[in-house]
Copies of this chain bind each other. A is one copy, B any other.
Amino acid sequence: MVNDLLAGVNAGARPGKRGLYIADIVEMLQALTPEAAAAKLGRMADVRAVAVLDRPEFTAAAEVLALLPLPRAVHLVAQMAEDRAADVLAEMDEDVAGRIFGALSPEVRTSLRRLLAWPEDSAGGMMTTEFVAARVSASVADVLDLLRTVERSRETVYSVFLLDERGCLDATISLRRLIAAAPDSPAIDLARDRTPVTVTPATDREVVADLIRRHDLLALPVVDDAGRPLGIVTVDDVLDALVAEHTEDVQKFGGVEALGRPYLETGFFEMIRKRAGWLSVLFLSEMLTASAMQHYEDELARAVVLTLFIPLIMSSGGNSGSQATSLIIRALAMGQVRLRDWWRVALRELPAGMVLGAMLGTVGFIRITAWQALGLYDYGSHWVLIATTVSAGLVGIVTFGSLAGSMLPFLLQKLGFDPASASAPFVATLVDVTGLVIYFTIALAILSGTLL
């Protein structure tokens, strides 16, 4: 719910006698067992209980509501913000949700059914149907009167939809301009040459967030194909959506399927399931490294010294790859780079990888030389050739890592996947197999006739 500065429509959003903010009460209840939380919530005044239930941070809401006596649960759900009520009902056991739903008034049922039809991460799933609409012919005073009447029952009153005769969205006007205008002037004058930015219910939440951010909006109208308003997405829902996206992106980049709920509240086996998928896929792909190594078995047996640097070289490729991937994932998400820019990125990553690889290669060369010179380890009479192999391998693999890591998100986007699925482990695996081939090819070229 969009509250105002430090406050809300809702008396319950204020700290009560004991000076607790709703956010603090939510935190306190979250720490309790569902039964204890239900008991506490059951004793709260309606207005406060509703304010608590309205917070998306109160993830136990569905469970707690199910534990309350049915009439009380129905009474509270009916007063909740509709978008939140729909989310909570969707989370509930179907039986309980059905019983609560059946006891609600027909009007509430209709608008909840409309909200429940859309996935949670779409504009339809984020919107509330509690918007304020006036006729396009209304005067400023008419609209202000309307706002005064509905102020306590609407999620946001800072913007008003003006509808034409067919009920289609013609313009939106803002409360701030309304209060500054002459009362008898036509409200439409405050919105003269405007074409409202709108979305359809199916619009993805990332696009909604981006539009609200780009256009500095407090709310965004959701309209049907004919242009009739269905609901409104408010900036606070977008904040929550952005934070959820952030969490998903970090988890995906770490190679986990998004958990969707707090870590400690995720069941043990659910967590295993969300991790096992990617881990197994990566493991199976990484098995190719064993095959690659088998292919170079003879070389390995003849020059065991080469194996000493395999982890070092492979990890450097993976690291440069995951750097490049993280840069490109965000650049794509922010629209700073488009699909058609792939070649511009490739032309940057190729020299960048070479410079970084040359740096690491130099350090690697110095390391081998130093250990040899100081007598810390004996790489044999061909140590210069070995140092050269390792250095050249680093240049090759770091360059390949940067290039592969930067191109993978483009490829995924092109194939219709989320570029953010290009996780660090995914890139590392991709680079590992190729990296081994690069390393042994270079080794064969340099050491052939001496060690190999």
Counting CB contacts under 8 A, is A451 at the interface?
no
A173 nearest in chain B by CB position: B7
Verify B326–A255 contact, CB threshold 8 A. yes
Stretch at the interface among A68-76, A307-315, A410-418: A307-315
Besides A157-B176, A239-B239, A256-B326, 10 other CB < 8 A contacts? A1-B216, A6-B196, A15-B195, A152-B180, A239-B242, A249-B250, A282-B315, A283-B319, A287-B312, A314-B315
Query: Counting CB contacts under 8 A, is A44 at the interface?
Result: no
Assuming A4-B174, A176-B4, A217-B6, is B14 touching A282 (CB within 8 A)? no
A6 contacts which chain B residues (CB < 8 A)?
159, 172, 194, 196-197, 215, 217, 220-221
Chain A to chain B contacts (Cβ below 8 Å), 11 pairs: A4-B158, A4-B175, A14-B193, A151-B176, A213-B243, A235-B239, A246-B330, A256-B327, A263-B331, A279-B320, A283-B363
- In the complex, which of the residues A276, A311, A355 has the most CB atoms of chain B within 10 Å of its own CB atom? A311
Q: Are B290 and A309 in contact, CB atoms less than 8 angstroms apart?
A: yes
Which of B218, B304, B337 touches A4 (beta carbons < 8 Å)?
B218
Give the residue of B286, B312, B352, B359 whose beta carbon is less than 8 angstroms from that of A289.
B312
Residues of B within 8 A of A290 (CB): 308-309, 311-312, 367
Encode contact with B along A226-261: 1 for CB under 8 Å, 0 otherwise.
000000000110111011011101110111100100
Residues of A within 8 A of B (CB): 1-9, 13-17, 19, 21-23, 55, 57, 144, 147-148, 151-152, 157-159, 172-177, 179-180, 191-197, 209, 212-221, 235-236, 238-240, 242-243, 245-247, 249-251, 253-256, 259, 262-265, 268, 271-272, 275-276, 278-280, 282-284, 286-287, 289-290, 293-294, 297, 300-301, 304, 307-312, 314-316, 318-320, 322-331, 334, 336-337, 341, 344-345, 348, 351-352, 355-356, 359-360, 363-364, 367, 377, 398, 423-425, 428-429, 432, 436
Residues of B within 8 A of A331 (CB): 262-264
Residues of B contacting A175 in the complex (Cβ-Cβ under 8 angstroms): 4, 158, 175-176, 179
User: Are B268 and A348 in contact, CB atoms less than 8 angstroms apart?
Assistant: yes
Given A219-B5, A294-B308, A348-B268, the answer on whether A326 and B250 have CB atoms closer than 8 Å is: yes
Q: What's the minimum C-beta distance from A331 to chain B, rounded to whole angstroms? A: 4
Chain B residues lying within 8 Å of A5, measured Cβ to Cβ, are: 158-159, 172-174, 196, 217-221
Chain B min CB distance to A27 (Å): 8
Complex contacts, A242 vs chain B, CB 8 Å: 239, 242-243, 246
User: What CA separation (Å) do A330 and B252 show in the bound complex?
Assistant: 12
Q: Which of B253, B262, B352 contacts A250 (CB 8 A)?
A: B253
Across the interface, which residues of B come within 8 angstroms of A4, CB to CB?
A: 158-159, 172-177, 217-218
Contact present for B262 and A432 (CB under 8 Å): no
A315 to B310, CA, bound (A): 12
CA A6 to CA B197, docked complex, whole Å: 7
Chain B contacts for A235, CB-based, 8 A: 218, 235-236, 239
Known interface pairs A4-B174, A249-B250, A356-B272. Does A315 touch B289 (Cβ–Cβ under 8 Å)? yes
Contacts of A310 in B (CB 8 A): 293, 307, 310-311
Chain B residues near A7 (CB-CB < 8 A)? 172-174, 177, 191, 194
**Are A247 and B174 also in contact (CB < 8 A) when A194-B6, A328-B263, A377-B294 are?**
no
Assess whether A311 is in contact with B314, with CB atoms less than 8 Å apart.
yes
**Nearest Cβ in chain B — how far from A268, in angstroms?**
7
Query: Which residues of B lie under 8 Å from residue A249 when comparing CB positions?
Result: 246, 250
Asked, given contacts A279-B316, A318-B428, A330-B250, whether A151 binds B179 with beta carbons under 8 Å apart, the answer is yes
User: CA A180 – CA B145 in complex, angstroms?
Assistant: 9
Assess the B16–A193 pair: CB atoms within 8 A. Answer: yes
Q: Which of B21, B287, B429 contacts A367 (CB 8 A)?
A: B287
Q: With a CB–CB cut-off of 8 A, which chain B residues contact A213?
A: 236, 239-240, 243
